[in-house]
Structures are given as structure tokens and as C-alpha cells.
Structure 1
Amino acid sequence: MPNPKRRHSKKRTSTRRAHDALKQPGLSECPNCHEPKVPHRVCPHCGQYKGREVVEVVAE
């Protein structure tokens, strides 16, 4: 296993980790029930995708 020959500075470490933060998922509004949903996915609230009912949602 290769080991670092010299210690990395704090700046170099934090520069590398600058893109490691979690990003918030992009949400869009369901045209049927107006709840937030992930784009290009079936709405988990009403079960519709592109105007058709794809998944039958059980009322809880």
C-alpha cells in the first residue's frame, strides 16, 4: 500500500473535501396532487406518472 511521503496541509485537505457535502435533491411538483416529488419518478403520494396511474397507492 502506498503511503504519503509528506503530510497534507489543512488547506489541501479542505480543498479536496469541498465537494463532499450532500446536495439537496431537486424536487418538482406533481401535476395531479401538487405534492413534491423527484423528477422522472412515480409520485409516492398519488401513484401517477405522466398523467397515468402507474402504482396503486393504499390509503393509510
Structure 2
Amino acid sequence: MAVPKKKTSKSKRDMRRSHDALSAPGVSVCPQCKEPKQPHRVCGTCGTYKGREIVPTEEI
């Protein structure tokens, strides 16, 4: 079995984990309803993408 010869220092351990942080997803504003949405995706509120209605929504 492979066993480490020396203890990994806190510095080396933390340097290895430096790229593991999560980043927040990008957010843009829908031009139709001004609600926040992810870029390059259909708006979940009004159902439009690039000015066209993709998902029909019910009007109350």
C-alpha cells in the first residue's frame, strides 16, 4: 500500500484546494419583464428569448 512519507503541511493542502471554490452564476436582466435571468436562457417569468415568445404563459 502507498503511504505518505511526510505529513502534508497546511500550506500545501490549502494551495491544492485553492481552485475548489464555487463561483456565483451569471445573471442578466430580461429586456421584456426586467426580471433577473441567466444569460442565453429562456426567461422563467415571461417565457421569452431574444424578443420571441418561446414558452406560452397564461395571462390572468
Name stretches of at least 5 consecutive residues in structure 2 with no aligned partner: none
Residues 12-54 of structure 1 show CA distances to partners (whole Å, capped at 9, x for unaligned) of: 1111111211111110000000011100000011100000000
| TM-score, with structure 2 as normaliser | 0.80
* Number of equivalences: 59
Distance in 2 (CA, whole Å) between partners of 1:3 and 1:31 is 58
Aligned residues: CA RMSD: 1.9
1:58, distance to aligned residue in structure 2 (A): 4.7
| TM-score, with structure 1 as normaliser | 0.80
Distance in 2 (CA, whole Å) between partners of 1:31 and 1:15 is 42
The sequence identity of aligned pairs, in percent, is 56
